[in-house]
Amino acid sequence: MLGWLHSVARSHVEVALKHPIKLIANALGSPPNDVIEQAHAAGVPVAALAGSAKHALRHVDNGVDIVVAQGHEAGGHTGEIGSMVLWPEIVDALDGKAPVLAAGGIGTGKQVAAALALGASGVWMGSAFLTSAEYDLGHRLPGGTSTIQEALLKATTADTVRRKIYTGKPARLLKTKWTDAWDAPDAPEPLPMPLQNILVSEAHQRMNESDNPDTVSMPVGQIVGRMNEIRPVADIIGELVSGFEAATKRLDGIAES
């Protein structure tokens, strides 16, 4: 979505609705009213990401069906409030007006259990699937992994930064030589959205297609520190389920003791 422009986004929605999709989701605000109406006319529910209770209430007032409560730990565009505080705050503010999906820092079954315990109806995950065997972006290295995945595999929980250099709005990114260069004293200030993304998109593509993991540009959440092996999506989901079951069993035992 070059430049994050409304004109481009609308064409993507039109293409998407020609296929049997189950959901349209929007970040950085509610989708325009005509897009919500278009989706609803096609029988497709609409979700929107929220970084505060105020944003969540506005989404519901605008006709959004599902609110994704995205905590500070998440990858990409994210707000200032941590997940443990944000999730129940949005759940309580909406008071049943719309289901809430918890996002930001989720990569294990016990974290899923925590989200549901805080009132979420489900979870929304992204970063954890970047090291799946099915992920197919970036230059492939001799071992079969991509440049992007190699960078993610060696990252720790502390190896993310939140900067405006990706789109012009604050977004959590993997810390690399690219982000370090933008932090240098002589670096220019990022342009406002949508100009920054237009400025750097070609550079992003070249870096991600190179064979150097140290220069990739990639949004990712703080959960990256637990993403240390390439696994099929089925295994990731299976571990989430078993971890959730173990966590809820442990809580049941505590409640009964």
Q: Are 18 and 94 part of one and the same domain?
A: yes
Instruction: Judge whether residue 7 has pLDDT over 80.
Output: no
Cis amide bond preceding 88, omega within 30: no
- For 89-190, strand residue ranges (E) read 100-103, 122-124, 160-163, 171-174
Q: Are 91 and 176 part of one and the same domain?
A: no
User: What value does the mean pLDDT take over residues 24-29?
Assistant: 94
Among 76, 86, 112, CA closest to 222: 76
Residue written as tokens 């370090």?
180
What is the model's pLDDT at position 209? Answer: 86
User: What value does the mean pLDDT take over residues 34-43?
Assistant: 96
Instruction: Judge whether residue 5 has pLDDT over 70.
Output: no
193-202 pLDDT per residue, tens: 989 999 999 9
Residue 139 lies in a domain: no
Among 185, 187, 173, CA closest to 216: 173
Q: Are 98 and 160 part of one and the same domain?
A: no
What is the model's pLDDT at position 4? Answer: 56
**Domain count of the fold of the chain:** 2
Instruction: Judge whether residue 100 has pLDDT over 50.
Output: yes
CA-to-CA dists, residue 112 to 101, 122, 126, 157, 161, angstroms: 10, 8, 13, 18, 24
Residue 85 lies in a domain: yes
Residue 10 lies in a domain: yes
Residue 246 lies in a domain: no
Three-state DSSP at 152 gives: helix
Among 166, 47, 28, 161, CA closest to 102: 47
Average pLDDT, the chain: 94
Instruction: Judge whether residue 2 has pLDDT over 60.
Output: no
Per-residue pLDDT band for 211 (boundaries 50, 70, 90) equals confident
Please report, for the domain that includes residue 116, its CATH number.
3.20.20.70
Q: Are 17 and 53 part of one and the same domain?
A: yes
Residue 248 lies in a domain: no
Q: Are 9 and 75 part of one and the same domain?
A: yes
Give the DSSP per-residue string, 170-185.
-EEEE--HHHHHHHST
Instruction: Judge whether residue 1 has pLDDT over 90.
Output: no
Instruction: Give me the percent of the chain exceeding a pLDDT of 70.
Output: 97
Question: Which range marks the domain in which residue 166 is found?
Answer: 147-226
Q: Are 82 and 161 part of one and the same domain?
A: no
Residue 236 lies in a domain: no
Among 140, 104, 98, CA closest to 119: 98
Q: Are 6 and 110 part of one and the same domain?
A: yes
The CB density around residue 112, as the number of other CB atoms within 10 Å, is 22
pTM for the predicted model, two decimal places: 0.93
Contact 122, 192 (CB under 8 A): no
Q: Are 175 and 96 part of one and the same domain?
A: no
What is the model's pLDDT at position 116? Answer: 98
The CA distance from 241 to 112, in Å, is 9
Q: Are 160 and 220 part of one and the same domain?
A: yes
User: What value does the mean pLDDT take over residues 54-82?
Assistant: 98
Q: Are 10 and 110 part of one and the same domain?
A: yes
Phi, psi for residue 245 in degrees, rounded to 5 = -60, -40
User: What value does the mean pLDDT take over residues 74-88?
Assistant: 97
* Burial category of 32 from C-beta neighbours within 10 Å (exposed 0-12, middle 13-18, buried 19 and up): middle
Residue 254 lies in a domain: no
Among 114, 109, 108, 105, CA closest to 244: 109
Instruction: Judge whether residue 146 has pLDDT over 80.
Output: yes
Q: Are 31 and 120 part of one and the same domain?
A: yes
Question: What is the biggest distance separating any 2 CA atoms in the chain, rounded to whole angstroms?
Answer: 60
150-194 pLDDT per residue, tens: 999 999 999 999 999 999 999 999 999 999 999 999 999 999 998
The CA distance from 28 to 26, in Å, is 7
Instruction: Judge whether residue 220 has pLDDT over 90.
Output: yes
Instruction: Give me the percent of the chain exceeding a pLDDT of 90.
Output: 86
Q: Are 124 and 152 part of one and the same domain?
A: no
Contact 106, 128 (CB under 8 A): yes
Per-residue pLDDT band for 3 (boundaries 50, 70, 90) equals very low
The CA distance from 131 to 133, in Å, is 7
Residue 12 lies in a domain: yes
